[in-house]
Chain A
Amino acid sequence: MAEVKVRNISKTYEKGTVQALKNIEFEVASGELFGLIGPDGAGKTTLFRLLTTLLVPDEGSATVAGFDIVTDLWDIRKIVGYMPGRFSLYQDLSVEENLNFFATVFNTTVAENYHLIKDIYVQLEPFKHRLAGKLSGGMKQKLALCCALVHEPKVLFLDEPTTGVDPVSRKEFWDMLDLLKKKGITIVVSTPYMDEASRCDRIALIQKGEILEIDTLPAILEKHERPLFAIRAKDRYRLIQEVRAYEETVSCYAFGEENHVVLKNDLEGETEFKAYLKDKGFEGLSFSRIAPNIEDVFIKLMLEQETHA
């Protein structure tokens, strides 16, 4: 059963001049951990604000737990938990007071749903009298998650919960999401970090307001399987230029220490390509074939989107 259903949604800002979302369509199954992955400005936050009834779409419709986001907004507000990208709890209230406040406005108590937040809250408990504004970044995220969970929501919307959080806390945070998933909560989470894709059941790659691909991570990788060469040499700038000048090259982009190159004829051109580069006389040239990861796929899809447009 689909817990979140999005049909053909479009949203513009500034009287239609800025297209934030274009014909977005996807479904999230009940109990699924669904990831929206895309760079800043892709439209992730707009999508969250639509699904949490803070915005009204220009076109299309969507339902959350069977409720329409436009007409049934009060029903949705009762059953979703939302954690905005920016820390937005009361900085001048303590950890405990924030939690109690958000429990009471949902007509419940912390004790009633303590089982949901217990695993997270035990880490916060030593600081429960501290003002929320005085917590560290990771602690703030945990508190925000607790506050979004305290009314036992059916669907949890987390907008970039791990942005600006250290790698250890990020990993902990995803572990917590796994626990919540086990408790049957549907989770929609957005992130600009491609490496977090592996923690989601399914992901949607989103860029410039359009969904480029939706599937499980392995399926996406398999679908876009194509040979990729990782090349490195000392004079990196010249290397990029020479590779791009090569007629068989489809794309060449910097990737960490290396350059990832895609060729037109995939494997067949490998030896010719190697010879071409040797002729150019690069120092310390290394050359290897690799399998594309999610970032390569994203870049490929992004380039395709650009050529279509």
Chain B
Amino acid sequence: MNNLLFLLQKEFKQIFRDPAILRLIFLMPIIQLILIPLAADYEIKQIDISVVDHDHSSYSRRLTNKLVASGYFQLAEYNNSYQKSMETVGEGDTDIILTIPQNFEKDLIKESAAKVHIAADAVNGVRAGLGTAYAGQIIAEFNREVREEWVQFPRMNPLPLIEITSANWYNPHFSYYLFMVPGILAILVTMVGAFLTALNIVAEKEVGTIEQLNVTPIKKYQFILGKLIPFWVLGLVSITLGMLVAWVIFGIIPVGSYFTVYVFSAVYLLGVLGIGLLVSTFAETQQQATLFAFFFMMVFILLGGLYTPVESMPEWAQWLTKVNPPTYFIKVIRAVYIKGSNFSDLLPEFYAMIAFAFGFNFLAVRNYRKRSA
């Protein structure tokens, strides 16, 4: 048992002496939390629209004004040539072209029906889809207004109308930060837990110190615990820092309790430390470990539901997310932060994390040998 204390002492000394690790632990949460939510914003605003107006009537102008006044659209061009607008699409200045045909106003009044045409630049599918949807809504709204104006006595001849009011539970203002920040906290813990551990152990292999340690009475479990405990502590430090940044910069604090966050972090960290340990048993050099880490990180993030909801993945991918530890942690952190879930709400995730902790550490310990061959 004493040996473990000496190992821990040594490990912490080395960590506090390594400027790279300290920078990583202190700067990574801050930079990631500030940069990623600001850059990776899904809210689509400022869609550039070109209006090709062949009508030049008061209605066509009213429709144009209404689109621009909605706040979603920005008028890139207003002309009467579809060809010309297409050119601006090619140059990337226009996302959506709205074509108002000749006699738009006349048809609307006389025939009670008129057509408009929307064309979208679908290189960015999300932008195109949302843009046409927004435009469709605004045109429908415009349509309703026009109809109300033309019905002479609305009170005596009421129009059947469904008015929709919606409430956004948990995130009333649709704040994108509230969604992203907790997710990034989860990724942070994963990186510190899994990859700093892997790199650290592989460094001992590379320098050869592990060989020297192996010829001492230090037991396998002591060596492993001596590596896992410091990084477990560092992981908790990094999530604490991350939560601090989330509060200071974004004003985001969990609706649920900090206690729940820490309990889950503590258990989840055991699992990711196991991943780190496992990677270190495969990799011989720090370069290899870094490449492993890079690969795992991509999979973790893409399958973790950080950017795209797990529910919208194909079924086979959804199965993969079930064996992807960050999926659970991202879900838990979001639930505690946004919904205020408590411990008992998240029991299934808790069990999954316990299983990961046991599973990965078991594999790693089985793979790790104090003697080769």
Contact = CB atoms under 8 A, between A and B. Distances in A.
A26 interface: no
B10 A101 contact: yes
A167 B371 CA distance: 34
A87 B13 contact: no
B79 interface: no
Interface stretch (A102-110, A118-126, A191-199, A282-290): A102-110
B371 A88 contact: no
Contact of B216 (A55, A56, A102): A102
B372 A93 contact: no
Interface stretch (B140-148, B203-211, B265-273, B334-342): B203-211
Nearest to B17: A92
A133 B218 CA distance: 23
Contacts of B211: 54, 84, 88
B218 to A, nearest CB: 5
B167 interface: no
B83 interface: no
B209 A77 contact: no
Interface in A92-144: 92-93, 97, 101-102, 104-107
Interface residues of B, number: 23
B208 A84 contact: yes
Contacts of B10: 90, 93, 97, 101
B2 A91 contact: no
Interface string B153-165: 0000000000000
Given A86-B208, A88-B212, A105 B371 contact: no
A82 B212 CA distance: 7
Nearest to B2: A107
Contacts of B2: 104, 107
A82 B215 contact: yes
Greatest chain B CB density within 10 A among A54, A55, A87, A107 is at: A54
Interface in A15-56: 52-56
B207 A88 contact: yes
Nearest to B219: A74
A88 B371 CA distance: 16
B14 interface: yes
Contacts of B217: 74, 77-78, 105-107
B6 A56 contact: no
B243 to A, nearest CB: 30
B6 A55 contact: no
Contacts of A80: 215
A91 B212 CA distance: 13
Nearest to B210: A88
A92 B209 contact: no
Interface residues of A, number: 28
A89 interface: yes
A87 B17 contact: no
A93 B14 contact: yes
A80 B215 CA distance: 8
A73 interface: yes
B372 A54 contact: yes
A103 to B, nearest CB: 9
A54 B214 contact: yes
A77 B218 CA distance: 9
Interface string B70-83: 00000000000000
B3 A105 contact: yes
B18 interface: yes
Interface in B329-352: none
A252 to B, nearest CB: 41
B201 to A, nearest CB: 14
Contacts of A53: 215, 371
A155 to B, nearest CB: 11
A106 B212 CA distance: 12
B373 interface: yes
Contacts of B218: 105
A223 to B, nearest CB: 35
Interface string B200-238: 000000011101111111100000000000000000000
B14 A55 contact: no
Interface string A49-73: 0001111100000000000000001
Contacts of A73: 371
B360 to A, nearest CB: 26
A90 B212 CA distance: 10
B215 A87 contact: no
A106 B216 CA distance: 7
Interface string A178-198: 000000000000000000000
A55 B208 contact: no
A80 B6 CA distance: 20
Contacts of B7: 105
A77 B216 contact: yes
A55 B209 contact: no
Given A88-B212, A90-B209, A105-B218, A56 B371 contact: yes
B207 A105 contact: no
A102 B209 CA distance: 11
A291 B289 CA distance: 55
B315 to A, nearest CB: 41
Contacts of B216: 77, 102, 105-106
A92 B209 CA distance: 11
Nearest to B15: A92
A55 B215 contact: no
30 contacts: A52-B215, A53-B215, A54-B214, A54-B371, A54-B372, A55-B371, A74-B217, A77-B215, A77-B216, A82-B212, A84-B212, A88-B208, A89-B209, A90-B14, A92-B14, A93-B10, A101-B6, A101-B10, A102-B216, A104-B2, A104-B3, A104-B6, A105-B3, A105-B213, A105-B216, A105-B218, A106-B216, A106-B217, A107-B3, A107-B217
The 10 closest A-B pairs by CB, nearest first: A88-B208, A82-B215, A104-B6, A88-B212, A86-B208, A105-B216, A52-B215, A55-B373, A88-B209, A78-B217
Interface of B: 2-3, 6-7, 10, 13-14, 17-18, 207-209, 211-218, 371-373
Interface of A: 52-56, 73-74, 77-78, 80, 82, 84, 86-93, 97, 101-102, 104-107, 147
